[in-house]
Amino acid sequence: MGSQSGTLETNVDVLIIGAGPAGLMAAASLAHLTAVPSSSPLAVRIIDKRSTKIFSGQADGLQCRSLEIFDSLGFADRAWKEANHMIEICMWNPDASGVIQRSDRIPDTIVGLSRFQQIVLHQGRIERFFLDNIQKYSGGAIKVERGILPTSLEIGEERVKVRVRRLTEEQAAPPQVRTGSKSESTDGLFRSNLVGDDYEDQNITHQSDGEEEVINARFVIGCDGARSWTRRALGPEFELQGEATDFIWGVMDIIPITDFPDIRMRCAIHSANDGSLMVIPRENRLVRLYIQLKEVTPDASGRADRSKITPELIFGAAQKILKPYKIDYEYCDWWTAYQIGQRISPSFSHPSNKVFLAGDAVHTHSPKAGQGMNVSMQDSFNLTWKVGLVAKGICHPRILDTYQSERRRVAQDLIEFDHKFSRLFSGRPAKDVMDAEGVSMAEFKEAFLKGNLFASGLSVDYGPSSLVVKSGDPGELGDRSDRSRKLEGVHKITDEAFRAKQALAKGLPVGMRVNSFKVLNQACARPWHFQERLKADGRFRVVLFAGNILDQTQKQRVKAFCDKLSSPSGFLRQATPEGAKVDSVIEVLTIHSAKRTETELLTDFPDILHPFDPRTGWDYNKVFVDDESYHEGFGDAYHNYGVDKERGCVVAVRPDQYVGWIGELEDFDQLQEYFEGILVL
């Protein structure tokens, strides 16, 4: 609609500012919410001031948790197939004579932590997967609009008014990627064969250069990076806090020519006196080197003089560190340099809960741990189902406060870890136990191991809130801000009561993501990783561990639970909009522990566990069994989830795969209360 002044004016539910990984994740996960009914489809727009996506360089490590999320969106397989897989970390330290030697090998991903392991693939490909996924799930309704600059932001009663302007091609060109190549003959030999499906997307805006538009959004998500316009528009109280260190590092993506034996391993190398080096092997024969630049130091202002930093200087430092091994290259894909620093915003969202910030806009740190992109994407993944379900009228707006309490805490932990790790990695190794100024290599290894768990993204443990029923102080277990301390709708439970509930499923810690083990479909015997059934489609899930369904007492318990579940006054029917399928907002999934071949889906399980549809018959995809498969072994899910095989239990899972509630089959009323605190029933 047009405003009086002739400026185009449009309404949207969600406006995403910035189309890097955090913004694209926001758009993708909103596109996936189409399965959840609403009176009208969510209107979502995503704008970016740059005119093209990223095609090389930049962040590239993908954590286990990011891959689990990608899988819940449907494209982990593309990343898994193209990426380099990180299997082993080798540590190299000076021996007694000061020569580097391999001192340790450890698995890159802790064994058993996830069904995925850490992989490396450049950001441009990840953006490609997101763009394809957004296209597929939004049916083309959501497209990245490039070359669009926001100019003002005004938070009103109902909506946020964002004024934007279309840039000229020249203004929108992204900062030039600084490449260095020894040989001029970049003749195609080196070109990736993986990018056959990569292309520049059509810009769908129909504005002329310089034209203005006013976007009235119910929610705005700022994913516009470390120099976030959105953050600045919210005011100085959102500014990043923290400071830079003296450590300056270079980064190069090259195809190495070397006799260093572990060039295809992730390596942490401490030289005796020439600084440290991290090796990250990548796809297409590339290797990323993070190289400490001891010769470059900050000036009086605390910033390094970037003009002095050349590829020759960076690579010379790498050659010194790697001695006596030789390293050279003909092809360099990308290079840059950075000064280590950790900064965080005091607040991740405006008190109105209409404007949110995610990713680099609210936390920055060193790139070596491969955390930045992952934590950023996980920020917006945490946020968007909440925003989307509130916008659809499914969830109570109070859940929006959990964004800051959950994600700012993760950023705090990350910054604390990065601070410690950077100092240990940038420090000179201790010559012996008497060398107090040097860094103890044992301490470094310990930090590395701890960092490895942290880096998987799987140690995240959300505190108590309306969404997570556990004991403890919401402030302490949140981001320790007033916002966390004053969370609305926190479910009360004593430590003792919570311990008893948690004991029902020790392998499913409340507040953490559901780990995955293989179970079989009861109807067709196909093995599935259980996590594969927890798609990011905006639905909550009730997982009924039905136990030994062949035992008559247990069968009665299951029946009693299902009777309440099917009741018109129960949360399941109450949450289901008129005319929608009963699994539209909350999906009930069952895992039982009897023998598959001794049980029958249609006769042993109450109808509500495999709902009937007059046009498509029974639902064969909701009941699973913890039993041996023919070809893929035995998931042993009850054992691994720590659930009693006879009596089972009930678990509520959030749309983002985090455990929200655990109880007995008799605890239906508490489960009812859990959902009443979250949903608009």
Chain residues in the site for its own copies (CB under 8 A): 77, 81, 84-85, 87-88, 105, 107, 109, 111, 117, 136, 183, 189-190, 196-197, 255-259, 261, 263-265, 281, 285, 330-331, 521, 523-527, 597, 600-603, 614-618, 620, 629-631
Structure tokens at 302: 């605390």
Percent of the chain that is helix, strand, coil (3-state, to 5): 30, 25, 45
263 φ, ψ (degrees, to nearest 5): -65, -20
Q: How many residues does the chain have?
A: 681
Is-catalytic flag, 71? no
Q: Which residues contact 394 (CB under 8 A, 6 or more apart)?
A: 36, 38, 538, 575, 585, 679, 680
From the CB of 120, what's the least distance to its own copies, in Å? Answer: 11
Q: Given the complex with its own copies, which of 84 and 554 has the nearer CB atom?
A: 84
Q: Given the complex with its own copies, which of 533 and 557 has the nearer CB atom?
A: 533
Kindly compute the dihedral angle of the four CA atoms of residues 573, 511, 645, 559, in this order, to the nearest 10 degrees. Answer: -10
Closest CA to 397 of 386, 382, 408: 386
Structure tokens at 503: 């004991």
Q: Given the complex with its own copies, which of 538 and 660 has the nearer CB atom?
A: 538
Catalytic, out of 65, 115, 159, 282: 282
Quick one: DSSP state of residue 448?
A: H
Q: Given the complex with its own copies, which of 128 and 159 has the nearer CB atom?
A: 128
From the CB of 180, what's the least distance to its own copies, in Å? Answer: 16
Question: How do 212-222 and 8-17 pair as beta strands?
Answer: parallel
Q: Given the complex with its own copies, which of 6 and 617 has the nearer CB atom?
A: 617
Cβ neighbour number for residue 367 with a 10 Å cutoff: 21
From the CB of 267, what's the least distance to its own copies, in Å? Answer: 11
Q: Which helix (H) or strand (E) holds 94?
A: strand 88-94
From the CB of 659, what's the least distance to its own copies, in Å? Answer: 24
From the CB of 132, what's the least distance to its own copies, in Å? Answer: 9
Structure tokens at 81: 């197939």
For the stretch 659-662, contacts whose Cβ atoms lie closer than 8 Å and that sit 24 or more positions apart, written own/partner, are 659/468, 659/508, 659/509, 659/510, 659/511, 659/512, 659/513, 659/514, 660/467, 660/468, 660/469, 660/510, 660/540, 661/468, 661/469, 661/510, 662/469, 662/501, 662/502, 662/504, 662/505, 662/508, 662/510
Q: How far is CA 179 from CA 184, 187, 288, 367, in A?
A: 12, 15, 14, 19
Is-catalytic flag, 367? yes
Question: How do 241-258 and 88-94 pair as beta strands?
Answer: unpaired
Q: Given the complex with its own copies, which of 2 and 107 has the nearer CB atom?
A: 107
Is-catalytic flag, 282? yes
Is-catalytic flag, 674? no
Helix, coil or strand: residue 130? helix
Q: Given the complex with its own copies, which of 117 and 465 has the nearer CB atom?
A: 117
Q: Given the complex with its own copies, which of 506 and 612 has the nearer CB atom?
A: 612
Q: Can you tell me the distance from the alpha carbon of 459 to that of 109, in angstroms, rounded to the nearest whole number?
A: 13
223, with CB counted inside 10 A (0-12, 13-18, 19+), is buried
Catalytic, out of 65, 281, 290, 360: 290
CB 344 within 8 A of CB 411: yes
Residues annotated catalytic, as ranges: 60, 282, 290, 367
